[in-house]
Structure 1
């Protein structure tokens, strides 16, 4: 009897400072198969849910990528960075002490619902066949067109000491760093994303994800038992 082709989906809590590809590479090496991919990039400075598909389940990557995402994190106002996260040095913009919770809520309302969003220059989007972050790192400007995205929920869970903790539920293709930039522009004091964690993709939850070292050990143990 012919054996079914292998396929598996892993929910992983991506470690801080790892690229999404670093995680894929680690899983690929442990499984010792070539067909392994992830369903939606997380920046190195973001943590949280990364879906990794192996074998025949790589066919499901597109469907996972199209699902709604949920994030939590922190924006800082009064300062910004070139990348709108901590990948680049922090630059002071304006004194944010006059900004009230009501001001923040008003700006948040303008960034909720169906909106047009310009992706950040430091992103993996391709323009004319090239990744825009490559142009950004080379100091070149690339014209980025606004794209329609859906921010279904944008909740402020804390506002103090110039920090805004948030929970955002959004569609595929939404950049949280762009929300930080646009929030800073609306408040006229600048902003950047201090931290980001993806907590959900569709019905897949971070609460059900495994830590990478634990998963790799499990895979290796399984491989050993199969020998």
Structure 2
């Protein structure tokens, strides 16, 4: 019996981490495609905006780690299988909406403050009276935004899905519980968000192949920590 439980645990981990690396590779492939496309239009400086946007899909990627976190110790089965899809649809819509809104704003910001003679500026008829180069500010703004996106992804994306699997309180209830837990652990969540943001943006910008290791390792460690931390808080 003990050997069966151990075997099932190993299988879950292999499958979960395997899917995580596949998802990471897909993000990497998309990022490289976007990098090549931007390079062809001489818009390399805008790539960081896409890097920040990729963070919004962290909640969907983190779903593959649920089998590691949400296991009932009594029967070694996944908790609440029936609620797997409880919040995924809503979270997906919210995250995609955030991504589209941000990319639209990023085009305008880049065109106005970084390169108002670019292809995008002409295509969208965006102009600015300022001729100053704010590319450095644009970089730091995107880095700050990446941290904010990571915080949002954890608080209103990842955690509601975890809560729905542990004890489904309905869509609104899951979001309320998630935000409450995030507020109670503001500093911890801020640090987690910074780690996720840096594991995505910096490798993709300066050491692209490092992303294939940095992102899945950071995500798996942090998400498992968040999930187990929430489970422990419910036992207190």
TM range (shorter): 0.3 to 0.5
Larger % of strand: which?
Answer: 1
Larger % of helix: which?
Answer: 2
TM-score (norm 1): 0.33
TM-score (norm 2): 0.32
